[in-house]
Amino acid sequence: MNIIDGRAHAQAIYHDLAQQVQQLKRQPKLVIIQVANHQASEAYIRGKIKAAEAVGIYAEVQNFPESIEQNQLLTVIAQLNEDRTVDGIIVQLPLPGHLDEFIVARAIKRSKDVDGFHPENLGELLIHETLLEPCTPKGIMTLLEREGIELTGKHVCIIGRSNIVGKPIALLALQANATVTICHSRTNNLHQHTQQADIVIVAVGIANFLTDDMIRTGAIVIDVGINRLNGKLVGDVDYDSVSQKASALTPVPGGVGPMTVAMLMSNTVVAATNQQ
């Protein structure tokens, strides 16, 4: 069984991106907007800053209190949109309940939307390709490509239909000539779908959700989940049983997570190259 090492791939990508950054006329700049102090967000933001340092991107965190009103946040974004020294903008999620994630995503200039959450960037995926793909789906596709896993003709079964993982990864897999099934919490006889798949991608946010009886022998399993169970970080895959039956599996931590951060850096370099 091949345990796919997302950290090692991410490191190799940082090395390549650092060389691309050297070719640019000025240092790329990423602005991370943080509202309030969500505990998990703190850790994610630290990871993003560390990755930016490795690549040579200047990452600036702009922190706002929980009381910020939506219009104030939109004004901040509008200023960053116009600032030519800023190449990429992300708003760390989740946001407090009074702020609308959809409106905020829409406010970021498309060409600086390095999270790939803008509806026009997501919508363009439906028709052809987009310059800035959402980071987790882009990270999964990059991981499969770098592992030499060809998708043409393969059956990819996705569990989860979120706007930032399930739906866009389905479109990218389709572009790569896979046959795609999208399953979700209301799917009847889920195991009948997953058992057919060459590649199963799980993004449901439930610890140990995918068990060995749900896959066929030799399947490739991509675990997008990040759950805390008894103080430990675990994915959506029941690792002990699935690792006995799959031919390849991404671990949690150290699989898809590092690739998501690497793709944020990749998108920032794309945005900076494009702006210059």
Positions touching ligand GUN (CB under 6 A) are: 44, 90-93, 115, 135, 260
For 57, phi then psi, to 5°, come to: -95, 140
Query: Is 83 known to be catalytic?
Result: no
Q: Given the structure tokens 């399953």, which residue do they identify?
A: 183
Comparison of 180 and 263: residue with beta carbon closer to ligand GUN:
263
Minimal CB distance to ligand GUN: which residue? 93
Order the strands of the 88-91 sheet from edge to edge: 58-64, 29-35, 88-91
Comparison of 215 and 263: residue with beta carbon closer to ligand GUN:
263
Compute the least distance from the CB of residue 126 to ligand GUN, in Å.
Answer: 20
Compute the least distance from the CB of residue 48 to ligand GUN, in Å.
Answer: 9
Comparison of 194 and 260: residue with beta carbon closer to ligand GUN:
260
Is there a contact between 77 and 107 (Cβ–Cβ < 8 Å)? Answer: yes
Compute the least distance from the CB of residue 148 to ligand GUN, in Å.
Answer: 26
For 93, phi then psi, to 5°, come to: -100, 155
Q: Given the structure tokens 């345990």, which residue do they identify?
A: 3
Which residue in the list 29, 34, 87, 115 is annotated as catalytic? 115
Comparison of 4 and 33: residue with beta carbon closer to ligand GUN:
33
Rounded Cα gap, residues 37 and 40, in angstroms: 9
Coil, strand or helix: which one is 270?
helix
* CB-based contacts of 164, cutoff 8 Å, min separation 6: 117, 134, 136, 137
Element (H, E) at 35: strand 29-35
Query: Is 92 known to be catalytic?
Result: yes
Query: Is 34 known to be catalytic?
Result: no
β-strand partners of 89:
31, 113
β-strand partners of 64:
35
Is there a contact between 243 and 1 (Cβ–Cβ < 8 Å)? Answer: yes
Rounded Cα gap, residues 220 and 151, in angstroms: 11
Is there a contact between 246 and 220 (Cβ–Cβ < 8 Å)? Answer: yes
Compute the least distance from the CB of residue 251 to ligand GUN, in Å.
Answer: 18
Compute the least distance from the CB of residue 41 to ligand GUN, in Å.
Answer: 7
Comparison of 26 and 98: residue with beta carbon closer to ligand GUN:
98
Q: Which residues are catalytic?
A: 48, 92, 115
